[in-house]
Amino acid sequence: MYAQPTNIAVQCHSLRKSFGQGTSAVQALRGVDLEVHMGELMMLVGPSGCGKTTLISIIAGILDQTEGECSVFGQDFRRMNQTDKTRYRGQNIGFVFQAYNLIPTLTAAENVTVPLLVLGEGRRKAMRQAREMLQKVGFNDRMMNGMPSQLSGGQQQRVAIARALVHSPKLIVCDEPTAALDHDTGQSVMELLRGTALQEGRALVVVTHDARIYGFADRIAKLDDGHVERVVNSASELHENQHIAGGAK
């Protein structure tokens, strides 16, 4: 196991992931090296199919890599059994899925209580915390009592974000968190997420195609064809590098 500095939340080294067998195998990641620091918001950008969602799924312990190493706060999921992995993920990671993954038979507030209940929190306290978190993403009482089928795509996205944040995880991983949101709501959600990332001992990784939110990032990693091409400190630096690369062709 390679050494991990104490200020690193996530460290990926020579990370590879393939799907399928033999000649039909698809190489989703082709040797990714990436560090996410404590207290930062790291954005992953790049064209569809470049490996962004695969990468965050490995970071969150949802997928196992084919080769290479990935540690989260110094822990490697591959060294854990399924029970320990589930417990560690539940205690330390919040995940905002692009497809929301809400439970259709539960209200918005009940969906947000799920991580707390899994961790053993009492139902009454869990519901109070869930409603407080939903208020932070702009929900009123009527919306909190609605079923997922009664909510718009943007409202479902906000429920998913509240669910990811409610148990105060140290790492929040988001797949297109503003894709279904209008500009103002997207900005409000990113302010909430960024405020969370800046709290001591936490980090945030966001996959996005939404250039409107690039300004919230501390660093931006550009992926293409299963590689991290470069990591920059601002959207302007990303665009400048793209312009230079385009002019060199």
Mean of all residue pLDDT scores within the chain:
89
pLDDT for 203: 94
> Per-residue pLDDT for 215 more than 60?
yes
Check residue 179 and give its pLDDT. 86
Terminal alpha carbon distance of the chain: 40
**pTM score of the predicted model:** 0.87
Strand partners, 67: 16
Structural fold of domain 8-16+28-103+172-247: Rossmann fold (3.40.50)
Q: What is the mean pLDDT of residues 104-116?
A: 97
Rounded to whole angstroms, how far apart are CA atoms 64 and 57? 8
Question: Can you give the residue ranges of every domain in the chain?
Answer: 8-16+28-103+172-247
pLDDT tens across 4-21, in order? 456 899 999 999 999 988
Which run of H or of E encompasses 58?
A: helix 52-59
The pLDDT assigned to 241 comes to: 59
Give the torsion sign (CA, 173, 42, 82, 127): negative
- Going through 38-120 in order, the beta strands assigned E by DSSP cover 41-45, 67-72, 93-96
For residue 245, what pLDDT band results from cuts at 50, 70 and 90?
Answer: very low
Task: Please give the residue that has the higher pLDDT: either 38 or 195.
Answer: 38
Identify which of 15, 95, 46, 18 has the alpha carbon closest to the alpha carbon of residue 224.
46
| CA pair distance 109, 95, nearest whole angstrom | 17
The average pLDDT across 170-182 equals 91
Neighbours of 218 (CB within 10 A): 18
| Phi, psi torsion values for 44, nearest 5 degrees | -110, 120
How far apart are alpha carbons 191 and 225 in whole angstroms?
30
Phi and psi of 164, rounded to 5°? -70, -25
